[in-house]
Amino acid sequence: MKSKSHFVGAMDINGHPVSFFTTPHSEPDFLWLDIEELTQAVTVDQRAAQRLFEFARGIPFLKRPMAMTAHNGRLVAIGSGKLAQSLCACIDANNGYKGADPESWNAGPLTLKCIVAIADAQEAFAPLSFAGIAQAFKQQEVGHE
Cα–Cα distances (Å) from 33 to 40, 94, 140, in that order, read 12, 22, 14
Number of domains in the chain: 1
In a domain, 44, yes or no: yes
Whole-number Å distance between alpha carbons of 27 and 83:
17
In a domain, 67, yes or no: yes
In a domain, 2, yes or no: no
In a domain, 95, yes or no: yes
pLDDT surpasses 60 at 144:
no
The range of the structural domain enclosing residue 118 comes to 7-130
Residues 6+ apart with CB under 8 A from 22: 4, 5, 6, 8, 31, 32, 126
pTM of the predicted model as reported, rounded to 2 decimal places: 0.84
Tens digits of residue pLDDT in 107-129: 888 999 999 999 999 999 999 99
Tens digits of residue pLDDT in 61-99: 566 668 889 999 999 999 989 888 888 888 888 888 877
